[in-house]
Amino acid sequence: MDKEYVGFAALPNQLHRKSVKKGFDFTLMVAGESGLGKSTLINSLFLTNLYEDRQLPAASARLTQTLTIERRGVEIEEGGIKVKLTLVDTPGFGDSVDCSDCWLPVVHFIEEQFEQYLRDESGLNRKNIQDSRVHCCLYFISPFGRGLRPLDVAFLRAVHEKVNIIPVIGKADALMPKEAQALKQKIRDQLKEEEINIYQFPDCDSDEDEDFKRQDAEMKESIPFAVVGSCEVVRDGETRPVRGRRYSWGTVEVENPHHCDFLNLRRMLVQTHLQDLKEVTHDLLYEGYRARCLQSLTRPGPRASRRAPRRSRCPCFLWPRLRS
């Protein structure tokens, strides 16, 4: 006798409808020195203009400029799917003469989002918690150097246990293909030597199709992504319009995989690993922060040494509850 149909096979459709109705949110941070094409790349990735009202400071103003944190939000809808994108920018990073500890505002900002989420999660109303945690950080590396600078290493070391890091080589059209590959290998070696953890791609399931496995392998080999951004449509030859940059020696096509890694970055960031970035943030990075907070509050010791922790490190509102 054939097994009767119950209807559990429709469960994925229920989850899909619920997710589409609720929508998705994603918080992306971009960091790196000025002039590496961060704004242009973000506009190219999401086909929007998040920096329409930005006013660039003069060169003299940058000598004393300090790092600030800016948030910009936009809702993007495509094929009935709504995504609320929050972009966290870090203007002024590495622009001043003295760059010592210039990354501390970024570290404090990331921890503040963890703290706020822990406060909401421990509160009475947990139904509509707003997730403002940073799910991914695109860190831009200069194509004109010989790998990571001391400032790059210091920043990455300070945040690599708090956020998913994806290293990006900006303005890659300044490099020949062999130069780009050599720089990528140099950066990978430095990251390994400095024991800096970047976002690790999950392994493909055995039942995935061969095309997906091939694309996944290409994305892994492309890290750090050498990218070129452009929202300008130019014509390559006489008929074919493409998004890219035109030079006297030819045209660089943004969406040509032979010219840069833009397609691989967009595929990874939007099409294949967006949900995994959020899960790693919640299950690994946030849980690590939460465990450290709870351990610091419950660690045994002399009564006189039990001081309320600073707000920037862990939420002191839990202190009376844990002591009781």
Paired tokens of 81:
């799917």
User: In the predicted model, is pLDDT for residue 305 greater than 50?
Assistant: no
Burial class (CB within 10 angstroms; exposed 0-12, middle 13-18, buried 19+) of 141: buried
Helix axes 287-298, 104-121, angle to 10 degrees: 80
Paired tokens of 207:
């039942």
- CATH code for residues 17-48+66-298: 3.40.50.300
Helix (H) or strand (E) holding 234: strand 233-236
Average pLDDT score over residue span 242-252: 83
Contact yes or no for 82/76 (Cβ under 8 A): yes
Which of 228, 239, 242, 167 lies closest to 199, judged by CA? Answer: 167
Length of the chain: 324
Peptide bond into 224 cis (omega under 30): yes
Query: Mean pLDDT highest for which of 83-87, 180-184, 227-231, 267-271?
Result: 180-184
CA 221 to chain centre: 18
Distance CA 226, CA 207 (A): 30
Dump pLDDT digits (tens) for 226-235: 999 888 888 7
Of 138-147, 161-170, 287-296, 305-314, the least confident: 305-314
Average pLDDT score over residue span 294-301: 71
User: In the predicted model, is pLDDT for residue 61 greater than 60?
Assistant: no
Angle formed at CA 301 by CA 295 and CA 306, multiple of 5 degrees: 75
DSSP strand pairing (70-78 vs 81-89): antiparallel
Dump pLDDT digits (tens) for 66-113: 577 888 888 887 777 888 889 998 887 766 655 677 788 899 999 999
171-to-60, 113, 129, 211 alpha-carbon distances in Å: 24, 31, 38, 29
198-to-82, 157, 189 alpha-carbon distances in Å: 28, 10, 13
Q: Residue 79 has what pLDDT?
A: 76
Q: Residue 59 has what pLDDT?
A: 53
Q: Residue 324 has what pLDDT?
A: 40
pLDDT higher for 95 or 44?
44
User: In the predicted model, is pLDDT for residue 62 greater than 60?
Assistant: no
Dump pLDDT digits (tens) for 118-144: 988 887 777 778 889 999 999 999 999
User: In the predicted model, is pLDDT for residue 65 greater than 90?
Assistant: no
pLDDT higher for 168 or 270?
168
Q: Residue 101 has what pLDDT?
A: 75
The rounded percent of the chain whose pLDDT value lies above 90 is 31
Average pLDDT score over residue span 249-269: 87
Query: Mean pLDDT highest for which of 16-30, 41-55, 221-235?
Result: 221-235
Which of 191, 251, 183 lies closest to 222, judged by CA? Answer: 183
Average pLDDT score over residue span 20-48: 84
Distance CA 200, CA 211 (A): 20
Paired tokens of 165:
């890091």
Helix (H) or strand (E) holding 55: none
For 136-150, the DSSP string reads EEEEEE-TTSSS--H
Average pLDDT score over residue span 148-159: 92
Q: Which amino acid is at 156?
A: L
Distance CA 50, CA 43 (A): 7
For 18-39, the DSSP string reads HHHHH-EEEEEEEES-TTSSHH
User: In the predicted model, is pLDDT for residue 290 greater than 80?
Assistant: yes
52-to-40, 62, 243 alpha-carbon distances in Å: 11, 20, 19
Average pLDDT score over residue span 260-266: 91
Q: Residue 249 has what pLDDT?
A: 80
CA 176 to chain centre: 26
Angle formed at CA 187 by CA 220 and CA 216, multiple of 5 degrees: 5
